[in-house]
Copies of this chain bind each other. A is one copy, B any other.
Amino acid sequence: MTPTFNHSMDMLIRKLDSIAQLSDEERRAIASLPVTGRLLGPDQDIVHEHDHPSQCCLLLDGWACRYQILSEGKRQIFSFHIPGDIPDLQSLHLKVMDHNVCTLTQATVAFIPHEAMLELTAAFPAIAATLWRDTLVDGAIFRQWMVGMGRRTACQAVAHLFCEMYVKLEAVGLARDHAYYLPLTQSELGDALGLSNVHVNRVLRELRTNEWITLHGGKLEIKKWRELTNLCGFDPTYLHLERHAA
C-alpha cells in the first residue's frame, strides 16, 4: 500500500500493455489495487502445491518459477517468471494449486487479494479479458516448451528458451541488444528442459564454441540472433505480443 508499491504497479501495467491495449481509466483502476509488498530471498516458496490461495502474487523484481517435484525426487520446472508476471494468476479460478511457485533470485513481490482482483475484473471486462489473455499466452508458452522437450534437440531447446526469455524481457523493457542477465543455474535450466545438468553444460559449450552466444557471470549475450533463431526455429508469434508506443 506504500507509494513505492503502488508505483510498482507500473510493472504490471507495462506487462499488460505488451499484450493488449488499456485505457487510462483501466490503468488507474489497476494502479489503485490494494497490494501488500514483500521482499523475498532466493529459492523461497511463494505458493505450495495443494494450497488454496486467497491472493495472487505479482512479481515486481527478480525471477521466479513454477515447478513440481515427482515422487522419485525429480523436478520439472514449468515456467520462468520475470517482473510484471503474475505466476499464480490461475489461482483466481482454480481453487487448488497443482504446482509450486518459488523465487529463483532475491525478489520483490506484491500480493493482491483475490477479492480485489475479482472486483476489478467485474468492473472492467476489458481487464478481465486481458488477464484471461495473459493466462492463454501462458498456455502457448507451455506448448512451445512441450515442443522443445518432445521434438527439438537439446541444443535447439536451450536456444529456444534463450530467445523466448529475451523477447519477454525486451517486451517489458528489461533487456535490449540481444543481451540480458540470466540468473539460472545449469540444473535449473535442465529441470526446465527435461535435461540433466551435465548435458546442459555440454550444450552450452557447443553454443559458445559456435559463437552463437556468450555467457559468463550470469550475463547472456546472443551474438548471432538470426542464426540462433534459425537453428531452433524460434517464431515469436506464440507470445502474442502487441507492440504499443511507450
A90 in contact with B146 (CB, 8 Å): no
Question: With A138-B139, A143-B99 known to touch, is A150 a contact of B76 (CB < 8 Å)?
Answer: yes
* Chain B nearest Cβ from A111, distance in angstroms: 20
A78: chain B residues at CB < 8 Å are: 143, 146
Closest chain B residue, CB of each to CB of A134: B93
Q: Give how many copies assemble into the complex.
A: 2
A142: chain B residues at CB < 8 Å are: 139, 142-143, 146
Q: Which of A1-9, A10-18, A125-133 contacts B (4 or more CB under 8 A)?
A: A125-133
Contact flags A172-205 to B (C-beta < 8 A → 1, else 0): 0000000000000000000101100000000000
- A216 interface contact, C-beta 8 A: no
* Chain B nearest Cβ from A241, distance in angstroms: 11
- A149 interface contact, C-beta 8 A: yes
Instruction: Provide the bound-state CA to CA distance between A237 and B94, in Å.
Output: 11
- A238 interface contact, C-beta 8 A: yes
A143: chain B residues at CB < 8 Å are: 66, 68, 78, 98-99, 142
* Chain B nearest Cβ from A164, distance in angstroms: 13
A76 in contact with B240 (CB, 8 Å): no
Instruction: Provide the bound-state CA to CA distance between A13 and B180, in Å.
Output: 47
Question: With A136-B135, A139-B142 known to touch, is A147 a contact of B76 (CB < 8 Å)?
Answer: yes
- A48 interface contact, C-beta 8 A: no
- A29 interface contact, C-beta 8 A: no
A218: chain B residues at CB < 8 Å are: none
- A96 interface contact, C-beta 8 A: yes
* 6 A-B pairs with the lowest CB-CB distances in the bound complex, closest first: A150-B194, A142-B142, A149-B149, A98-B238, A139-B139, A93-B133
Residues of A within 8 A of B (CB): 50, 66, 68, 70-71, 74-76, 78, 90, 93-96, 98-99, 122, 125, 128-129, 132-133, 135-140, 142-143, 145-147, 149-152, 191, 193-194, 233, 237-238, 240
